[in-house]
Amino acid sequence: VHVKTEESYIKKPYFVLPGTIAEPSIAKSCLACFDYTNSLADVVVGYMGAPLESNGRMDTAYQTLTIRNERGSQMVQTAVEASRLELGEIAQGQGKHEMTASATVSSDSLVLAMSGGKVKEEGLPMVVGEIMAFVMRSIGPTGVNFARYSIDYHIIRNYLHILDEWGEERANVAMPAYSRDIVEKYLKA
């Protein structure tokens, strides 16, 4: 987790955050949303799949740019020609994302709360969280595959939320086909 304030830049491994922070931090409307990739936009700029430079700061690293259509392509070209945008290499990725998404969902505080599980009051000690973050960066999915993990994780988590809140029939009607396809893949695994 990266937080930039006026005075400092704070980085904490996700694992050290208390489990109780998740529920009040995420609006229920966000838990019922399946457009995590902003699919209706002509151009999307963000950190999902972006390379994290050696200094580990997101505020100075490249971001990803997803161009969805001709209008988006023209917007990007105009920005490049006006020297307002610098393009880097095409995003790459490695590592499998499915197992990481499944493991994250099964230990997610929001999912645990929905399923009647015990939500941890405290996160891991900082040193253990740092070790886990190092291991995840070393053997887990990176780049574009980390983005795939993140998309799958959020879709599965949000599916479980609407299933819990609305029931199966309404959840299946509300969920877009591409999200349903992702959920089905994990249900079959």
Picking from 51, 56, 50, the residue whose alpha carbon sits closest to that of residue 13 is: 56
CA distances from 59 to 1, 47, 75 (A): 12, 10, 23
Give the per-residue pLDDT at 54.
Answer: 61
Mean pLDDT value of segment 60-87: 94
Picking from 21, 48, 29, the residue whose alpha carbon sits closest to that of residue 153 is: 48
Tokens of 123: 């996160």
What's the chain's average pLDDT? 87
Mean pLDDT value of segment 127-143: 87
Which band of pLDDT confidence, cut at 50, 70 and 90, is reported for residue 174? very high
Mean pLDDT value of segment 171-183: 93
Percent of the chain, pLDDT > 90? 39
188 or 78, which is more confident: 78
Per-residue DSSP letter, 27:
-
53 or 76, which is more confident: 76
Per-residue DSSP letter, 160:
H
Contact residues for 121 (Cβ-Cβ < 8 A; gap 6+): 18, 19, 20
22 or 11, which is more confident: 11
Give the per-residue pLDDT at 56.
Answer: 75
> 0.85 exceeded by the pTM?
no
Mean pLDDT value of segment 126-136: 89
Q: How many angstroms separate the CA atoms of 65 and 85, rounded?
A: 11
Give the per-residue pLDDT at 66.
Answer: 92
Mean pLDDT value of segment 94-122: 80
Q: In the predicted model, is pLDDT for residue 152 greater than 90?
A: yes
> For 34-47, how does the pLDDT look when each residue is reduced to its tens digit (9 = 90+)?
998 888 999 999 88
Identity of the residue numbered 84? R
Q: How many angstroms separate the CA atoms of 189 and 183, rounded?
A: 10
